[in-house]
Amino acid sequence: MSQQFLIAIGLAALVGGLAWWRKSLSISGAIGATLIGSLTFGFGGLVGAAVLMTFFISSSVLSKWKQQRKKAAAEKFSKGSTRDFWQTMANGGVAAAGIAAWGLTGQPIYWVAFAAAFATANADTWATELGTLASQQPRKITNLRQQVTPGTSGGVTLWGTTASLLGALVVAAIAQLGGAPSLRSLLAITLGGLLGALSDSLLGATVQANYHCPTCAIETEQHPTHSCGTPTQLSSGYGWLNNDWVNFLATLCGAGIAMLLS
């Protein structure tokens, strides 16, 4: 194993440990982040690390920011702001595969895939974290008429979508420090990230598992029991297709779209 990889593993473990200490990650989440970080730092070097850290720091800061105000919306999510192993894999797995392919082949298209996967994860996080703060009432992405409560998977607002575009653009701009920088790759990564985040909402509104709490008479992603203690019932979507799967598929969409555009 090369020296670069040993340094990469050490740095990734340090960042994962700090995030666990700051309660941004659970223990299993810190292990997942160390795995993804090792591959990203090891194959992507400093610029790869900068792309990952842009997503990681901005999403950690945003999800802790004004946490009180978001409590009502967070009630709907299946998990809190402490990320676990599968959440880190869902957000970073496609990117880690992309950076490994880039490191092994040197093909710029895999750099684009890597960056677009993180652009998608960042765009989705910015839309969720900043979107739930706006007073705009989200509408369901499939018809844009039906109003849904803030924090509902598949709900979109103009403000959230704008935040999404900015989140993708920031990652795309940092990614221009590596790979084969060009205006085309900047646009491909940005659009891939935006469309990847929109596909996240689309999957969230259609096939993602949604549950109903009979006691509170509300829709939730929490199962098998709601926070009130009542067992929840599947009301729409596929039981196995949870938010982690949706995030994974969305980063795959974002990476694929960016590869086609680049």
Q: Any bridge partners for residue 225, and if so which?
A: 231
Q: Looking at beta carbons only, is 139 or 212 nearer to Zn ion?
A: 212
Give least dist CB 73 to Zn ion, A. 16
Q: Looking at beta carbons only, is 186 or 213 nearer to Zn ion?
A: 213
Residues at the interface with Zn ion (CB under 5 A): 213, 215-216, 226, 228, 230
**Measured distance CA(206)–CA(32) in Å, rounded:** 28
Give least dist CB 222 to Zn ion, A. 8
Q: Which two tokens stand for residue 247?
A: 């995030």
Q: Looking at beta carbons only, is 4 or 235 nearer to Zn ion?
A: 235
Q: Looking at beta carbons only, is 136 or 222 nearer to Zn ion?
A: 222
Torsion of CA 241, 246, 251, 255, to 10 degrees: 70
**Measured distance CA(185)–CA(193) in Å, rounded:** 12
DSSP 83: B
Q: Looking at beta carbons only, is 4 or 227 nearer to Zn ion?
A: 227
Give least dist CB 221 to Zn ion, A. 12
Give least dist CB 112 to Zn ion, A. 44
Contacts of 168 (CB under 8 A, 6+ apart): 119, 120, 122, 123, 189, 190, 191, 192, 193, 194, 196, 197
CB-side neighbour CA atoms (13 Å) of 48: 30
Using left for φ > 0, alpha for ψ between -120 and 50, and beta otherwise, residue 4 falls in: alpha
Q: Looking at beta carbons only, is 82 or 230 nearer to Zn ion?
A: 230
Give least dist CB 79 to Zn ion, A. 17
**Measured distance CA(53)–CA(209) in Å, rounded:** 30
Q: Looking at beta carbons only, is 76 or 226 nearer to Zn ion?
A: 226
**Measured distance CA(190)–CA(45) in Å, rounded:** 22
Give least dist CB 215 to Zn ion, A. 4
